[in-house]
């Protein structure tokens, strides 16, 4: 009888240890998914940053007297480029979102002034840059959505019982969502 009780105790301890390892590894996998998703968001923002100088230079050739708008775009891009974000810190993520929103607004103003320049609207280089920018804005929106989905999966997992116990023991904390303001979440509207 003593052996049977010992084997039951060993089996229970083994099951608990397996459950702990499984829960921990699942949380690590989901956390890495969040990090990977964030990298894709940053990649798309970098793509937008790379397009902006070409777009500004193209517009500058046609709209030299719109210096204020061009300067605003360049400054917003510089501010957004120099900002680093910690996706584990809600305040840092909010600052990043705000900076990206400012850049989106500056880009919208830039696109609106192009309406006054028919030659610019017909310029092939400008049209290609415009199409690339529109595609990038759509990619940004898609990647932000995927990031938020990964965050939701992770946050849900670490908050559920009994995973919440393991999360607390190993220091897993909720991740903030990307919550851009309404203006920043919409790609600039450009009609030519």
3-state SS record for the chain: CHHHHHHHHHHHHHHHHHHHHHHHHHHHHHHHHHHHHHHHHHHHHHHHHHHHHHHHHHHHHHCCCCHHHHHHHHHHHHHHHHCCCCCCCHHHHHHHHHHHHHHHHHHHHHHHHHHHCHHHHHCHHHHHHHHHHHHHHHHHHHHHHHHHHHHHHHHHHHHCCCHHHHHHHHCCCCCCCCCCCCCCCCCCCCCC
- Residue 65: predicted pLDDT: 65
83 versus 36: which is more confidently predicted? Answer: 36
pLDDT digits (tens, 9 = 90+) for 8-35: 999 999 999 999 999 999 999 999 999 9
Domain 2-170: CATH superfamily, name plus number: LemA-like domain (1.20.1440.20)
pTM equals 0.75
Query: How far is it, in rounded angstroms, from Cα 18 to Cα 38?
Result: 30
First and final CA of the chain: distance in angstroms? 86
pLDDT (average), residues 2-6: 83
| pLDDT surpassing 70 at residue 64 | no
Task: Check whether the bond before 19 is cis (ω within 30° of 0).
Answer: no
Q: What mean pLDDT comes out for the span 49-72?
A: 80
pLDDT tens, residue by residue, 130-172: 888 888 889 999 999 999 999 999 999 999 999 999 999 999 9
Position 80 scores a pLDDT of 87
Looking at the predicted structure, is the pLDDT value of residue 3 above 50? yes
The residue extents of the domains of the chain are: 2-170
């Amino acid at each position: 009888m003593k052996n049977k009780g010992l084997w039951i105790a060993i089996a229970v301890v083994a099951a608990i240890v397996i459950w702990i390892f499984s829960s921990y590894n699942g949380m690590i996998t989901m956390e890495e998914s969040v990090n990977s998703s964030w990298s894709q968001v940053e990649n798309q923002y970098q793509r937008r940053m790379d397009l902006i100088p070409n777009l500004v230079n193209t517009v500058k050739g046609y709209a030299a007297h719109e210096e204020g708008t061009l300067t605003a775009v360049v400054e917003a891009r510089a501010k957004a480029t120099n900002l680093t974000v910690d996706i584990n810190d809600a305040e840092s993520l909010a600052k990043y979102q705000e900076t990206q929103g400012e850049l989106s607004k500056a880009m919208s103003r830039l696109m609106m002034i192009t309406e006054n320049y028919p030659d610019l609207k017909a310029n092939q280089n400008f049209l290609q840059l415009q199409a690339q920018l529109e595609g990038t804005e759509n990619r940004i929106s898609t990647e932000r959505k995927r990031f938020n989905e990964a965050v939701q999966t992770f946050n849900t997992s670490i908050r559920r019982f009994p995973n919440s116990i393991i999360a607390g023991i190993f220091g897993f904390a909720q991740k903030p969502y990307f919550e851009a303001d309404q203006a920043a979440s919409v790609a600039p509207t450009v009609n030519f």
